[in-house]
Structure 1
Amino acid sequence: MIVLSVAIPTYGREQVLIDSIESLLALDPPPEELLVIDQTPDHEPSTKAHLQDWNQQGRLRWIRLKQPSITAAMNRALLEAQGQRVLFLDDDIIPSPGLLHAHLEAHRHWPGALIAGRVLQPWHQGQPDAETAAPFRFNSLQPRPCSEFMGGNFSLPRQMALDLGGFDENFVRVAYRYEAELAYRWRQAGLSIRYISEALIDHLQAQRGGTRSYGQHLTTTRPDHCVGSFYFRLRTQPLLPALLGCLRDLLRSVITRHHLRRPWWIPLGLLAQLRGLAWALRLHYSGPALVRVTLCTNGLQERQLW
């Protein structure tokens, strides 16, 4: 029986994806099961060759999706994984040697918990945050209970996640705050989230692919970056406070140094925010896009959104 499956959702990444996979396969022991949920329409030849070879050798399972969606990719991983627990990792990382062991040990101590790992960002320069640093940025050396997690390094019991409906696929494009929404449902169900500093990755913040495929949030009229934030408020707060919060967020988004120095971006930024709010309202009133799993007569799982 597989205890821990590792899943890497990926979009638009090439050599950094290959490097990340190689570093995971080089761990001792390597992952029991490694899933690459690939939303990239067409890879560079060398990337494609590596993924095909690993897939044929059984060292990983390369699963292709037609449409890019981080939440749909993560739901596909939950459905495809054979492990009791699933560890989700970004596609531009260097794992610490003890990453898998730390997640497994944490689940032994807290069997029903979601485990949030430590994420070392480039600007940390290899140093942990102070224990009193606020807000908490998942780079402390002190384990603790917490209310949220970072999507690039966390693990959770697979069946519990499916019982809650998985990830809400209404978090589209950049899918900002999708982790916070699952954390909200997780806590509402009486479940805990634990931060474990030993479960460490270096996040490389690749400049191409991933959410960076949608451009820079300060210089766009597209709603891709802000729709998730508005939708999160609407999903987790009463309507009036949520709308007031959305309006505050909308105004704050154009009161930045960038906009003070380049005031011509203020109306364009407001346009992006208003488009995002309108989109979030439509998504909210359509209802959450959660996963429902039913068992078919042939014994296979059927995936539906509800």
Structure 2
Amino acid sequence: MNRENPTVSVIIPSHNRSFSLRRALDALHSQTYPIDLMEVIVVADSCIDDTLAMLQDYKAPFKLQVVEVNCRSAAIARNTGAASASGELLLFLDDDIEALPSLVESHARVHRERPGCAVMGPYPPKLQGETRFFGVEVRSWWEDKFYQMSQPTHRFTYQDLLSGNLSLDAEMFAHLDGFDSAFGNCGGEDYEFGVRLLKADVPFAVAADAVGYHYEHETNNLDRSFRRARQEGRSDVLIGQRHPEMRPTLHIKDYETPDSLVNKILVAIVFFWPAALDLLAVGLRKSLDWLQYMGMRGTWRWLQTKLLAYSYLRGVIDELKSRSALSRFMQEGMASGDLGRHEIEIDLQEGWEAAERIIDRKKPDGIYLRYGEQSIGHVTPKFGVEPLRGAHLRSILALDFAEPLARAIAVNGMPKSAAHSEPSLVDNTLLQHLQLFTVLDKKKLENVV
């Protein structure tokens, strides 16, 4: 690959959204990346509107290729586009995203700086003036998602693989066989692909300047969110079937052993009388409009969450059919989840920087933390997440181990590398915890230890 200026194939699957597709194509006219290094492949999937006519007359400054398929599957459409691509980089873009001029160039730059990554670009929803509860919730969720992913301390999971604005090496995509076409129209193929990427030790990255505005209001609404939740239930089962070690981490576990009374009642009834619950769900859905009208946001959010949970469970039932099949699905996953993971032990008394260097060098899945002879805790291995990096350490200490670490420091003193340094070496949140403990009587801390 030409690392300085790789050729880029922009792949846009589309189904009956001619207006959105034209806007997406128009936005690509203004890209700052060399136009002669770009090609755009539109995969028209089962289109019966004027999409094909629009594309036939469309005048593009870049090479434009149109591929027709009849599959109603995002996975197959993306794979078909990739098979027709000639670029060294594949850039998957949804047809309702309006790319800012720097989008393609930003993707290429991150690949130049960090070869071999799967690179995501932000696509915040375009919802100016939106005041409906659902629109506000959607905007808040996406903004928080991209903010968290852009933080240096973020530990990527398979659910961070977002295919709406995603780029990766064409050879790597082909080597991993692309998206799993068995997911059909139930969605979730991007999450499953994320699992395989992490298994193959492919790092994730965010191209912060590869921004595209997502016209969410044209493709999303409250009723569609419930259909998506049902699809997510189905896709989680498929992910668990392909990757059994993932089953204990999937949301399905909340229904195999429900921990709340509401979920216990829901699971008890849904397998035996689903038609009745479906009717109840329809009635409760209508009440959301009334709650919106009355301005009862807290109640609206609570009910929406419950209806989403019910829709998800119905999707699980679509695939597993019975209560016994659900239990068997989870039990088999727990057995396969006992796979050996790479763990190390670190002495934090040697200093934060020393610990971070060890983590970056060894890339463990889990860590036993100690401070001299004193145990601090255990960062347990997880499936479906990237290996630990040094950048993760301080936020983990601040969020999960601040109290035992503060006690150990009170008894044994500051880490070696910090003995003659300002406490600013410690993460701000961790520092707040340490300061809280240092105002206490040291003797009391020793007694606690």
Q: TM-score, normalised by structure 1?
A: 0.71
Q: Deviations over 1:252-290 (max 9, x none)?
A: 6x69xx959729998x956554114349x9xx9xxxxxx
Of structures 1 and 2, the larger Rg is shown by 2
Secondary structure of 2:122's aligned partner: strand
Letter in 1 for 2:164: G
Letter in 2 for 1:174: C
Structure 2's unaligned 5+ residue stretches are 130-140, 268-279, 287-305, 330-449
Q: CA separation of 1:170/1:37 partners in 2, compared to 1, >3 Å: closer, same or farther?
A: same
Secondary structure of 1:15's aligned partner: helix
Within 5 Å, give how 1:252-271 maps onto structure 2: 259=281, 262=284, 269=311, 271=314
Structure 1's unaligned 5+ residue stretches are 126-132, 285-306
Letter in 2 for 1:197: A
Within 5 Å, give how 1:81-100 maps onto structure 2: 81-100=85-104
In the alignment, which residue of structure 1 is the partner of 2:317? 274
Secondary structure of 2:218's aligned partner: coil
In the alignment, which residue of structure 1 is the partner of 2:241? 234
Secondary structure of 1:60's aligned partner: strand
The structure 1 residue matched to 2:113, chosen from 101, 109, 113, is: 109
**Identical amino acids, percent of aligned pairs:** 22
Q: CA separation of 1:11/1:237 partners in 2, compared to 1, >3 Å: closer, same or farther?
A: same
In the alignment, which residue of structure 2 is the partner of 1:190? 201
Contact 2:149/2:206 (<8 A) preserved: no
Contact 2:97/2:123 (<8 A) preserved: no
Q: CA separation of 1:278/1:239 partners in 2, compared to 1, >3 Å: closer, same or farther?
A: farther
The structure 1 residue matched to 2:69, chosen from 65, 69, 81, is: 65
CA distance in 2, matches of 1:219, 1:188: 30
CA distance in 2, matches of 1:6, 1:113: 17
In the alignment, which residue of structure 2 is the partner of 1:171? 183
Name whichever structure is richer in strand by fraction. 1
Name whichever structure is richer in helix by fraction. 2
The structure 1 residue matched to 2:191, chosen from 175, 180, 203, is: 180
Contact 1:88/1:155 (<8 A) preserved: yes
Q: CA separation of 1:278/1:33 partners in 2, compared to 1, >3 Å: closer, same or farther?
A: farther
Q: Deviations over 1:77-98 (max 9, x none)?
A: 2211100110000101111111
Alpha-carbon distance, 1:241 to partner: 3.4
In the alignment, which residue of structure 2 is the partner of 1:34? 40
Contact 1:36/1:61 (<8 A) preserved: yes
The question of 1:203 aligning with 2:214 is answered: yes
Alpha-carbon distance, 1:187 to partner: 1.4
CA distance in 1, matches of 2:27, 2:143: 31
The structure 1 residue matched to 2:10, chosen from 6, 12, 16, is: 6
In the alignment, which residue of structure 2 is the partner of 1:218? 226
Secondary structure of 2:9's aligned partner: strand
Alpha-carbon distance, 1:237 to partner: 3.2
Q: Deviations over 1:17-36 (max 9, x none)?
A: 11111111233444610000
CA distance in 1, matches of 2:215, 2:285: 32
Within 5 Å, give how 1:11-22 maps onto structure 2: 11-22=15-26
Q: CA separation of 1:187/1:134 partners in 2, compared to 1, >3 Å: closer, same or farther?
A: same
CA distance in 1, matches of 2:38, 2:16: 26
Q: TM-score, normalised by structure 2?
A: 0.50
Letter in 2 for 1:94: E
In the alignment, which residue of structure 2 is the partner of 1:304? none
CA distance in 1, matches of 2:11, 2:142: 30
CA distance in 1, matches of 2:99, 2:81: 19
